[in-house]
Structure 1
Amino acid sequence: MSSLSYSSPSSSSEAKWPFDVFINFRGEDVRYGFVTDLHSCLIHGGINAYIDSEDLRRGDEILELMKAIDESRIAVLVFSENYASSRWCLDELVKVMECRRLKKQRVLPVFYKVEPGDIRGLRGSYGDALTGHEKKFGQDYERVKKWKQALIEAADLSGWHYVDGQSQDETEFIERIVKEISTTVKRVPLSVAKYPVGVRCRVKEVMSLLSMVSNDVRMIGIWGTGGLGKTTIAKDVYNRIASQFDGCSFLPNVRETSSRPDGLVHLQDKLLSEILWKESLVVLSVDGGANMIRDRLCCRKILLVLDDVDHEDQLNALARECEWFGRGSRIIVTTRDKHVLTSHGIDLVYKVQPLDQDEAVKLLSSYALNQTNDISRDLIDKILGYANGLPLAIVVLGAFLCGRSRGEWESTLEQLAECPNEKINRVLKVSFDALDNNQKDIFLDIACFFKGRKMEYVTRVLDSCGLHTSIGIQTLIERSLVTIVHDHTVQMHDRGVQTHDLIQQMGQDVIKRECPNDPGKRSRLWCYDDVYEVLSAATVRASHETIDNLIFSNLRAITELQLVINDYFLFLGGEPLMLRA
């Protein structure tokens, strides 16, 4: 199979400019205040802005300064009252206008408390400064002439005019500048995926839920089991629409972060600092942070992504109500637990689907088949059958198998049949670890004994074991660990009973790890060889009474014993026997 290459549209092209913006200004006038705030706002917007420092204008640093101008995509000229008195500012201006002519560099003037007409006419402080320069540089008249020409040319360009603090809000003025610059530079995108196979069509589904033409405040959910690509989809959506908002924040790993001391406070602080670039806020408590988010963002159109949420407390602290945010805002929540969305009133939910066969082949080809040509289609199909459409599994196995021989592929498959890949299993097990004891018991029993059985049968047996099966299975469904298919059978994957099931293997691995070398000490037995070993006299050396206790302990209802007896006779014909301690 020929190798295939895929790359994200948002990250495939290399930047042509080392710097997005060069800021030219007179430090004594505006360094502490306007320029500092402008620079901070640009950085928070993901724009790489070079800020000039007059303290470094010595020797080689001057050459570096001119090089920075030459390598910037946009030059912002901050004309202030005493701008023309600085020969360094004027030299930079000449260089900027030269780059505009020769390299098509975009030049954006900011007239900060000065009139553009005074600069064009060389009047007022600008006329006085140039007159002084002429007297000082009488022998270097050409240099002063270039300064004048550059000033006149720059003052004719379209830009922004700030009069004073009474007629305009300086923060809003800066935000307008940054917004226009962003349309040229674009926000620095989040890294999505090396090979985002199948992402585009799933992003399209999420975009339809977002309905960007609507001016309401909208919360949507992206739901699915671990490793399906929820975060990848959310990142791609974020990159596509971020420029349409007044402020944006992508909070990754909410579950993990919030579990740390003051984790929610940290998340609240990060959310506010990313959106409110100028305001210095200190979040002292979760309740205080919630009030800050509500009060400071209620009039702002913002984009917020809360990635990997697993508890409603996290949503209450970060995005409790739509009324917390300005009109047109969008909040995207990714989670493994659908009930988190339901309990928060989020009914616009996209359920992430596994990759189809064509997508799975493309993704595996991108990772594993670009250096190897002797891998048979049968081996490829077996790897894809194991991964079962889970992007995480395909990526992990594809990267591991890249460049390996046919024999190594076969050996890997044999190993996977005995024990799951650790990296894949660790991601899937996060969902299991979040369950309570009742839910864990139900999940493990289904993984070991009941996958593919009718729901009514599973409920009767597990209820007789003292488990609260109805609410337990519903919780497993909401957490994408169990699926009830159309014929009312219990499955652990949407693809059905015929395919390999990574979730089932994860559950069975939990039991095997209870005692890797002694099956008799595990809480459940389902494999023929393990059952035979435990029940054989050479291994167990136990009385019939001990065996009976092993088989039937925890079965509370006498009327259900027949169900287990039936399982036993099926076992004699080769079917699994339910042995649950």
Structure 2
Amino acid sequence: MNQVLHLYGYCCREGAVIKHIVDEVLTRLKKRQRNLPDHLVGIHDQLEDMKSLLQEGSPDVRFIVIHGMGGIGKTTLAEAVFNQISHQFSGHSFLPNVRESSQDDKIKELQWRLLSDILKFQPARIYDTNDGVNMIKERFRHKKVLIVLDNVDDRNQLMKLAGKHNWFGPGSRIIITTRDIQFLSINNGRPRDSDCIQHEEFYIYKMKEMPFHHALELFSEHAFRRDTPPTDYANIATKIVKTMGGLPLALKVIGSSLCYKNEAVSEDMKMPHREVHDILMMSYEMLEDEQKQIFLDIACHMAGEKIEDAVLMWKSCEFFPNLTIDVLINMSLIRVECHEELWMHDQLRDFGREIVCRESQFPGECSRLWCPKSAMEVIRRKRSFERPTFVQAS
């Protein structure tokens, strides 16, 4: 009897250990996935195009560039590809909004994060970007890796993170998203008749605006929480989608805003043609004062930060951040990543910062500063004005 009880206890303990291991593995796998909407409209054809460029199973190292205007869905496509194929690689990393990391200190942070993601442990601190480059080349040259560099706009950023094919092992794939491919020094490499093109080192995919039927479906998803507009709004919804073109960001933001303010739908949906900036301004103006302040904080400082840290800061300012965050999410102005980090589309971030810049032509008179050089210049000038003036006694 004692032996039976002992065996039963052992099995229970073993079962608990197995369950713990399974839960841990599932948690880690989930953390490595990008957080995407449940229903992605029109993504299937784009994924098929990307598969033809990725050539899964091919032993060569490939650099794939997704390019197109802001708000057209480059990051969403890169995230969808990352989620779909990352399990095929021995290491994978998604580095968002590389454009913000033009300074060496931030590039070092990205190098360290890249090494941490791929190696699955925290490497030694990086003191110099050249040291980071050497570490990446040394550690990755025999590894099959998947790396996404989102929103790149400078050749130096690419050279410090994924400079050459021989840095990586056979079968590796490096995906780059960018608004403009000029910094890649590609001559006559812009796709014309075809969306996909190979040019020397890079395989290039040009994003196009959504076709009308997909654009209408996406707008309806956010404005009416259904695939098609209600009969009473069909004509107006059709007109608004045609005037906005096939930009997913604009369709999501204006659709979500109209859904959020139901009483204003019928009037606002008759709006004339507007540029994307004006569409974003419409949504911004719908926010209450506190919501605007938190939106601008995220655009200038808090995107990429842990949500709990941001909430503590806003609560100290006597704001009610949890309610505001829900509003901003519902209006498609932000989202919360699986690591509980705040995320904002780069075009919305630029839009928010532009609002702050318009407060004054003098940075020191603006409500927020996000560029370290500008902040140090403002502090330096302030200190020079505050220096006491000594008058010699007569």
Place the TM-score, normalised by the shorter chain, in its bin: 0.5 to 0.7
Secondary structure at the aligned position of 1:250 is classed as strand
2:151 touches 2:176 (CA, 8 Å); kept in 1? yes
Call closer, same or farther: CA 1:143–1:302 in 2, change over 3 Å: same
Name 1:276's counterpart in structure 2.
Answer: 119
* Structure 1: distance between partners of 2:39 and 2:135: 39
Aligned-residue offset at 1:316: 0.4
Conserved in 2, the CA contact under 8 Å of 1:220 and 1:349? yes
Aligned counterpart, 1:219: 63
Structure 2 residue 278 is matched with structure 1 residue 420: yes
Which residue pairs with 2:259 in the alignment? 402
AA of the residue aligned to 1:395: K
CA distance in 2, matches of 1:302, 1:369: 41
Contact 1:383 1:413 in 2 (8 A): yes
Aligned partner (choices 64, 75, 78) of residue 231 of structure 1? 75
Asked if 2 retains the 8 angstrom alpha-carbon contact of 1:287 and 1:317, the reply is yes
Task: Name which of 240, 245, 256 aligns with 1:383.
Answer: 240
Letter in 1 for 2:279: N
Say yes or no: does 1:242 pair with 2:86: yes
After superposition, the Cα gap between the structure-2 partners of 1:355 and 1:320, relative to the gap in structure 1 and judged at 3 Å, is same
Deviations 1:284-312 (A, max 9, x none): 11111111101111111110000000000
Please tell me whether the aligned partners of residues 396 and 424 of structure 1 are also in contact (alpha carbons under 8 angstroms).
no
CA distance in 2, matches of 1:377, 1:248: 44
Using the TM superposition, give the Cα deviation of residue 373 of structure 1 relative to its aligned residue in structure 2, in angstroms.
3.5
SS at match of 1:365: helix
| Mapping 1:541-560, distance limit 5 Å | none
Distance in 2, matches of 1:145 and 1:306, equals 52
Instruction: Name the SS of the counterpart of 2:166 in structure 1.
Output: helix
Q: What is the deviation of 1:381?
A: 2.0
Amino acid at match of 1:381: T
Which runs of 5 or more residues in structure 1 are unaligned? 1-138, 160-176, 427-505, 516-581
Is contact 2:34-2:83 (8 Å) kept? yes
In structure 2, relative to structure 1, the CA distance for the partners of 1:147 and 1:336 (3 Å cut) is same
Q: 2:88 is matched by which residue type in structure 1? A: Q
**Equivalents in 1 of 2:134, 2:32: separation in Å?**
30
The 1:387–1:194 alpha-carbon spacing in structure 2 relative to 1, beyond 3 Å, is farther
8 Å contact kept, 1:299–1:326: yes
Q: Distance in 1 between matches of 2:224 and 2:11?
A: 60
Q: Which residue of 1 aligns with 2:344?
A: none
- Is 1:356 the counterpart of 2:211? The answer is yes
Matching of residues 192-203 of structure 1 within 5 Å: 192-203=36-47
Are 1:289 and 2:289 counterparts?
no
C-alpha contact 2:254 2:283 (8 A) present in aligned 1:
no
> How is 1:175-186 mapped onto 2 (pairs within 5 angstroms)?
none
SS of 2:94's equivalent?
A: strand
Which of the pair has the greater relative contact order for Cα pairs under 8 Å at 6+ separation?
2
Aligned to 1:481: none
CA distance in 1, matches of 2:140, 2:123: 14
- SS at the partner of 2:92? strand
**SS of match in other structure, 1:318:** helix
Q: Residues 279, 259 of structure 1: CA spacing in aligned structure 2 closer, same or farther, 3 A cutoff? A: closer
Q: Which residue identity is paired with 1:339? A: Q
- Partners of 1:425 and 1:324 in 2: CA distance: 44
Match of 1:370 in 2: 225
Query: What displacement does 1:367 show?
Result: 1.1
Equivalent residues of 1:273, 1:281 under 8 A apart = no
Deviation at 1:150, TM superposition (A): 8.3
Asked if the contact 1:223–1:350 (Cα under 8 Å) also holds between the matched residues in 2, the reply is: yes
The separation in 1 between residues aligned to 2:155 and 2:212, in whole angstroms, is 36
Report the alpha carbon displacement of residue 414 of structure 1 after superposing the two structures with TM: 3.6
1:373-402 deviations in whole A, cap 9, x for unaligned? 464333112211222000011001110112
Give the Cα–Cα distance (whole angstroms) in 2 for the partners of residues 274 and 384 of structure 1. 40
Q: Are 2:9 and 1:144 aligned?
A: no
| Cα drift, residue 149 of structure 1 | 7.8
Q: Which amino acid aligns with 1:273?
A: S
- Relative to structure 1, the CA distance from residue 207 to residue 425 in structure 2 (aligned partners, 3 Å threshold; closer, same or farther) is farther
Tell me, in whole angstroms, the C-alpha distance in 2 between the residues paired with 1:404 and 1:324.
51
Cα 1:197/1:314, change in 2 over 3 Å: same
Residue identity in the other structure for 1:243:
H
Contact kept in structure 2, 1:195 and 1:363, CA below 8 Å: no
Within 5 Å, which residues of 2 pair with 1:332-347? 332-343=175-186, 346-347=201-202
Q: Kindly state the Cα deviation for residue 213 of structure 1 after the two structures are TM-superposed.
A: 2.0
Q: 1:421 to 1:261 in 2, by over 3 A?
A: farther
Distance 2:264 2:161 in 1: 51
Q: Is the 8 A contact 2:219 2:255 kept in 1?
A: yes
Matches within 5 A, 1:458-477: none
Does the 8 Å CA contact 1:218/1:330 hold for their aligned counterparts?
Answer: yes
Tell me the distance in 1 between the aligned counterparts of 2:107 and 2:221.
38
Q: Larger C-alpha radius of gyration, 1 or 2?
A: 1
> Any idea what the Cα deviations from partners look like across 1:414-467, whole Å, max 9, x if unmatched?
4765981235999xxxxxxxxxxxxxxxxxxxxxxxxxxxxxxxxxxxxxxxxx
CA shift for structure 1 position 233: 0.3
Q: Deviations over 1:447-498 (max 9, x none)?
A: xxxxxxxxxxxxxxxxxxxxxxxxxxxxxxxxxxxxxxxxxxxxxxxxxxxx
Asked if the contact 2:115/2:123 (under 8 Å) is kept, the reply is no
8 Å contact from structure 1 (residues 219, 346) kept in 2: yes
Question: CA 1:315–1:144 in 2, change beyond 3 Å: closer, same or farther?
Answer: same
TM-score (norm 1): 0.41
Asked if the contact 2:90–2:145 (Cα under 8 Å) also holds between the matched residues in 1, the reply is yes
Q: 1:251 to 1:362 in 2, by over 3 A?
A: same
User: What residue identity is the alignment partner of 1:355?
Assistant: M
| Percent identity between the two aligned chains | 37
User: What's the offset of the Cα at 1:145?
Assistant: 4.5
CA distance in 1, matches of 2:281, 2:251: 12
What secondary structure sits across from 1:353 in the alignment? coil
Distance 1:194 1:409, change over 3 A: farther
* Structure 2 contact 258–268 (Cα < 8 Å) conserved: no
- RMSD value over aligned CA atoms? 3.8
Q: Is the 8 A contact 1:290 1:318 kept in 2?
A: yes
Q: Distance in 2 between matches of 1:339 and 1:314?
A: 14
2:150 partner SS: strand
